Structure 1
Amino acid sequence: RLGYPSDVLPLGTPAEYLRNNYSAIIISGSPASSHNEDAPLPDPRLWEENIPVLGICYGMQAMAQAYGGRVAKNGVREDGRVTTEISVEHALFRGIRKSFTGLFTHGDFVVESPLGFEVIGSHELTDGTKAFSAIAKGNKVGVQFHPEVFDDTPQGYELFKNFFVNIAELEPDETFLHERLTSQIEQKRAEIRKKANGRQIVAFMSGGVDSSVAGTLAQPDHAFYIDNGYMRDEDEGIIEYLATIGLNVEKIDAAEKFAEATVTIDGITYGPLKDVSDPQIKRRLIGKTFVDVQNDLVARLGLRADEAVLLQGTNAADRIESGYSKGDSHTAVIKTHHNLVPEARDLDPIEPLDDLFKDEIRALGYALGLPTDVLERQPFPGPGLAIRILHAKSDEYEIPATEKGTEIQALLKNTPFDARLLPVRSVGVGGDERSHLSAVALAGPDDWDNLAWLATELPGRFKGSINRVIYALTDESLGNLSVTPTDASQQVIDTLKHADRIVFEEMRAFELIQHIKQCPVVLLPLSFGKPGERSIVLRPVTTSTFMTVQAMLPKRDLPESFIWQSASRIAREVPGVSQVFLDLTNKPPATTEWE
């Protein structure tokens, strides 16, 4: 996007190859610790070369260690937007404000800068210690934050420009810049033809941005919309609008097949789906069942397995969070997306978008001539509402890290807020690694600024214990907590569908469909009133890439009346709901979806 052709390579690529083929190197983040014996590291000869290097997060730590600095864990983590003070005189930060906001997500810190390196960025942590946010020596520079995450590092573009122009002394390729999207479309269509190799292309279309763009690129021979029983009641509308963009789609009712599905992992069989509570197993089971449906459809078409190939709309965020790296194998599994389970990988599908993030896919879609209402559509996960229902096998519960609940209460003692550590876990992310930790519920005045601060402060202070903070929107006391046995039965699905429908009606009424980038509606097996009831969580977020998201809060990002009206209607109109919450947590530390 800046006009510099680039390649993604393994971290250990020989320095000689890099010197002979590239003008600058960027070393990205990683969940690894550079000070561990088995840490993945660049070729040590790279540091002897005169080639410019920008180390990002782990890349800065590897750089510091290679030059004799020291990297170690700290008592606190940083996960989210942090303001750091930078040296605006340095070429990397030329033209950038001294108080620089960037995305930090790490537990390791450069605690001793290497000899000869200048500290060009630093700030104070919550425990009072000093953190180095940027270091430099000649054409070797490192930053602890993520300039590539432009949603959370607003001046990331400027930093990259400065690195390329001021440090690497490179000028952008204007021809490449202006013809990029046209060339990209031609290249991807050529790759699709090559991989299909005469086979018929079978596509599963969800109506989302990714599958719509992938389908438009590939023009599949056969396209299907799979109703797995956990979708919204909008099948016909999706099929109709896909037809308007030239994709003729057949609906397949596979609800019964998904409901009865099982999966065997390491010799243990799990299922049926409605009884599976572990989010990773749930995603694995759903992904495997999609593959089973694909195999059934190929057989129905009278094709042999080697006469058909599956088209998927897998994007870069899906791939990275599922642990698949383009450049190497040093990527942790955050959550396995249903289209990246082992059974799907074995099919070797066509995935033309797996190197693009959501904003890049939208740009490609506009270049293909797709309409705005398709490209700005809110994503809906392939597994559907199945991953928005948190299960409980009985009404007995144990709160993980109970002592942390006491500490949280003590922290909030002199505030107007009440807090409750909940007996449910949600999936999160920090330092490029997965977490599966407790959520904290808050109640009290609607002081959105302080609530936003607590949503960042609590996961940071109680790292390893919590990764999500939610706020009660109705009057039920947090003290009257009970657990309701919950599975993905039809009654529970209908409850969640009803709440989800209300939220989308309100989004349409307030004209927020395109303003809110996604709004998961989640069902918790928790009652704060009458035993046997459950709770609903609203999760409106904004993002460009979905690698990070910002929780959207009333007054700051959304009309207050939208939130209050949605909560009021759910509490009033949906039977069996005792409490409605608003999720306050950014990503990181919480993922967009709870599971």
Structure 2
Amino acid sequence: MSETIIVLDFGSQYSQLIARRIRECRVYSRIMPFNTPAETIRAERPQGIILSGGPSSVYAENAPKCDPAIFELGIPILGICYGLQLMIQTLGGEIARGRAREYGKAILEIAEPGELFVGVSPKTQVWMSHGDKVARMPEGGFRVLGSSGNTEFCAVHMPERNLYGIQFHPEVVHTPEGKSIIGNFCRRICGCAGDWTMESFIEQQLREIRATVGKSNVILGLSGGVDSSVAAALIHKAIGKQLNCIFVNNGVLRKNEAERVRELFGRNFDMKLIYVDATDRFLSKLAGVDEPEKKRKIIGNEFVTVFDEASAKIENAEFLAQGTTYPDVIESVPIDGNPAAMIKSHHNVGGLPEEMKFKLLEPLSRLFKDEVREVGRQLGLPEDVVMRQPFPGPGLAVRHLGAVTRETLDILRDADEIVVDEIKKAGLYYSIWQTFAVFLPVRTVGVMGDERTYDYVIALRAVESSDGMTADWVQLPYDLLGRISSRIINEVNGVNRVVYDITSKPPGTIEWE
């Protein structure tokens, strides 16, 4: 990338958001661990560095620290919250506990706009989230650019080294002019031209894919989801018939999903699509299994076996393509010895074994989800594919409580299709994170046509989220809920009751299993 801003991650929940805000300024961003050596950063030749916030106190025993040499690189640096405090402490200042934790909205009064606050209101709302504050500035030329009611050194600047620090969070929506502040840092201070666009990304990736693959064949496990669909379209544009897509019907897909995928990619895009209907194999393995994790493992393991068998028939296949996106490969930051901090990985094809000696091809691994969607649009994918809601890898098996059967899976498919259809008719599908039906292995008494019924229950789930990590249930209009319930009970044989899940995450999860 010709222009890059590096974000050093100190364990902030907002690090990915900082990176995305930079990209909204049409500048490429990359997240790196807080302890990345200065020489490694220098080798990346970034235009600037942002130090993220974090949950620690800089004076704590195990507080994460950056390489002090980064402040000698001659590269503009912006410290945010913890990043500001670490910068001040490293350069000889003092950080102390504030009289009270400052969390929520505050007013920043700008005393000296400088380049960082060009175009920003003299008094602007910002979002605070800190318990510590700068008690004493270092010697050597720091200037105060702004303050708030509780924070004297809310924005500072050291002109000699081009260092900036702010105590608030410009990356969150609660700082209305935060995008302008980040834009000023990227464009005015770091001198970035802002040429990071999805058009330029596509052209660059087409060249890289062709150069990497050469005359070899590529295998891609196509799921029909956004990431694998966009990866398939991009790679196909680069190398055409050298791409071999394998689509496995595992028996727990949504209604008519297999037909939709075959029509779009096999016929409309004229891709080489190998369709494997393994419904009987999967359902045989799942028979009588009601424990969620066991169902997941059975589906994952059987997928690997089926995929392995199909890929073995493709000659000269050296590369395995995946729709891995940037959040999947960002290294988690271990804070205070947190043993759960691992490098996150994601495999659209179910987690392939090491003995499959393919080279990985992951053309979307630099992109966030919204960027993946935009690439898909530019490659000609229809909106209902580009904006498709997330769908779990194990499919309907984790939206079907208890052991799955052909009969009950058909009940769930029919109910789920009605849910999606009504949500789309209401114009809500693209604004809600996920909406779906859940099959409950519970039978209840009902009355239909003056006759007693004893049938199954369908639960409705609709949640709003930005990343899937947390979620709030959506307050769907009562008339919409009524239409969905009425249609399911009238059109789906075997159901006589519909309920609505009003649990957020946490304490619940988005999926039921």
Q: Does TM-score exceed 0.5, indicating one fold?
A: yes
Contact 2:456 / 2:497 at 8 angstroms: preserved in 1?
yes
Is 1:204–1:224's contact at 8 Å kept on the other side of the alignment? yes
* Distance in 2 between residues matched to 1:99 and 1:590, nearest whole Å: 37
Q: Does 1:299 align with 2:312?
A: yes
Report the AA paired with residue 69 of structure 2: R
**Distance of 1:581 and 1:520 partners within structure 2:** 11
Q: Assess if the C-alpha contact under 8 Å between 1:283 and 1:336 holds in 2.
A: no
Equivalent residue letter for 1:199: S
Which of these residues, 36, 49, 53, is aligned with residue 13 of structure 1? 36
Alignment of 1:349-360 (within 5 A): 349-360=360-371
Does 1:538 pair with 2:461? yes
Q: How does 1:85-104 map to 2 (within 5 A)?
A: 85-89=107-111, 91=113, 92=116, 95-96=119-120, 100=125
8 Å contact kept, 2:101–2:132: no
Give the aligned partner of residue 312 of structure 1: 322
Matched, 1:157 2:179: yes
Post-superposition CA distance 1:37-81 (Å, at most 9, x none): 555431133346664323456645654664542589x999x8xxx
Which 10-residue stretch deviates more, 228-237 or 528-537?
528-537
Could you tell me whether the CA contact under 8 Å between 1:35 and 1:71 is conserved in 2? no
Partners of 1:132 and 1:287 lie apart in 2 by 55
Map of 2:409 onto structure 1: 493
- Picking from 124, 132, 148, the partner of 1:111 is 132
Higher RCO structure (Cα 8 Å, ≥6 apart): 1
Distance 1:15 1:383, change over 3 A: same
Deviations 1:16-38 (A, max 9, x none): 56468334202346788866655
Aligned positions of 1:63-212 closer than 5 A: 63=87, 66=90, 68-69=94-95, 83-89=105-111, 91=113, 92=116, 95-96=119-120, 100=125, 109-116=130-137, 136-138=156-158, 139-142=163-166, 145=169, 147=171, 155-165=177-187, 169-173=189-193, 176-177=195-196, 180-212=197-229
Q: After TM superposition, give the deviation of residue 309 of structure 1 in Å.
A: 2.4
Contact 1:276–1:282, Cα closer than 8 Å, also in 2: yes
Kindly state the Cα deviation for residue 244 of structure 1 after the two structures are TM-superposed.
Answer: 1.4
SS in structure 2 at match of 1:231? coil
How far residue 236 of structure 1 moved from its aligned partner, in angstroms, is 0.9
SS in 1 for 2:362: coil
CA distance in 1, matches of 2:311, 2:408: 33
What secondary structure, in the 3-state scheme, does the structure 1 residue paired with 2:360 have?
coil
Gaps of 5+ in 2: 1-22, 139-143, 237-241, 447-453
Distance 1:379 1:156, change over 3 A: farther
CA contact (8 A) 2:440 2:457 kept: yes
SS at match of 2:165: strand
- Whether 1:290 and 2:299 are equivalent positions in the alignment is no
The residue aligned with 1:377 is: 388
Partners of 1:193 and 1:251 lie apart in 2 by 25
- Tell me the amino acid that sits aligned with residue 299 of structure 1: A
Indicate conservation of the 8 Å contact 2:133/2:151, yes or no: no
In the other structure, the counterpart of 1:562 is 480
Indicate the SS of the match to 2:136: coil
CA–CA distance in 1 between the matches of 2:56 and 2:490? 48
Q: Which residue of 1 aligns with 2:276?
A: 252
> If the length of structure 2 is used for normalisation, what is the TM-score?
0.70
Q: Is the CA contact (8 Å cut-off) linking 1:388 and 1:594 kept in structure 2?
A: yes
Instruction: Measure the CA separation in 2 of the matches of 1:172 and 1:24.
Output: 9
Q: 1: CA distance between counterparts of 2:411 and 2:155?
A: 53
Tell me the equivalent position of 1:463.
Answer: none
Report what 1:236 is aligned to.
Answer: 259
> SS of 1:504's equivalent?
helix
1:581 corresponds to: 500
- The alpha-carbon deviation at position 288 of structure 1 amounts to 4.2
**Per the alignment, in what secondary structure is the counterpart of residue 249 of structure 1?**
strand
Contact 2:219 2:320 in 1 (8 A): yes
Question: Which of residues 500, 507, 525 is equivalent to 2:423?
Answer: 507
Matched, 1:4 2:21: no
Alignment-derived partner of residue 15 in structure 2: none
Deviation at 1:258, TM superposition (A): 3.5
Aligned equivalents of 2:97 and 2:279: distance in 1? 51
Counterpart of 1:25 in structure 2 is: 49
Query: CA, structure 1 residues 197+94, in 2 after alignment: closer, same or farther (shift >3 Å)?
Result: same
Residues 1:339 and 2:365 are matched in the alignment: no
Per the alignment, in what secondary structure is the counterpart of residue 339 of structure 1? coil
Task: Label 1:68 to 1:514 Cα distance change in 2 as closer, same or farther (>3 A).
Answer: same
Specify the structure having the higher radius of gyration (Cα). 2
Going from structure 1 to structure 2, the CA distance change for 1:185 and 1:256 (only over 3 Å counts) comes to same
Aligned residue-pair number: 454
Q: Aligned partners of 2:353, 2:176: CA distance in 1, in Å?
A: 36
The change in CA–CA distance for 1:42 and 1:487 in structure 2 (over 3 A counts) is: farther
- 1:327-348 residue CA offsets vs partner (Å, 9 max, x unmatched): xx99946986453865367755
Q: For structure 1, which segment, 372-381 or 360-369, has the greater mean C-alpha deviation from structure 2 after superposition?
A: 372-381
Q: Tell me if the contact between 2:126 and 2:170 (Cα under 8 Å) persists in the aligned partners.
A: no
Cα gap change, 1:95/1:185 in structure 2, threshold over 3 Å: closer, same or farther? same
C-alpha distance in structure 2 between counterparts of 1:284 and 1:375, whole Å: 28
1:437-516 residue pairs with structure 2 within 5 A?
Answer: 486-490=402-406, 492-516=408-432
- Equivalent residue in structure 2 for 1:223, among 245, 269, 272: 245
Whether the 8 Å CA contact 1:61–1:71 is kept in 2: the answer is no
CA gap of 1:69–1:260, structure 2 versus 1, over 3 A, is farther
Distance in structure 2 (CA, Å) of the matches to 1:550 and 1:156: 24
Aligned residues: CA RMSD: 4.7
The percent of aligned pairs where both chains have the same amino acid is 31
Alignment correspondent of 1:46: 70
The structural deviation recorded for 1:319 is 3.8
Q: Distance in 1 between matches of 2:251 and 2:284?
A: 11
Q: CA deviation at 1:316?
A: 2.2
CA displacement, residues 452-510 of structure 1 (integer Å, 9 cap, x when unaligned): xxxxxxxxxxxxxxxxxxxxxxxxxxxxxxxxxx3444455344323312211212332
Give me the whole-angstrom Cα distance separating, in 1, the residues matched to 2:352 and 2:193. Answer: 41
Q: Which amino acid aligns with 2:201?
A: Q
CA apart distance, 1:564: 3.7
Q: Are the counterparts in 1 of residues 57 and 82 from structure 2 also a CA contact under 8 Å? A: yes
Write the letter of the residue equivalent to 2:252. Y
CA pair 158-210 structure 1, distance change in 2 beyond 3 A = same
SS of the equivalent of 2:50 reads: strand
Letter in 2 for 1:502: I
Report the secondary structure of 2:259's partner residue.
helix
Change over 3 Å in CA distance of 1:363–1:284 after alignment to 2: same
Structure 2 CA distance, aligned partners of 1:569 and 1:552?
22
Shift of 1:372: 3.4
Q: Structure 1 282/224 Cα, relative in aligned 2: closer, same or farther at 3 Å?
A: same
**Pair 86,513 (structure 1): closer, same or farther in 2 beyond 3 Å:** same
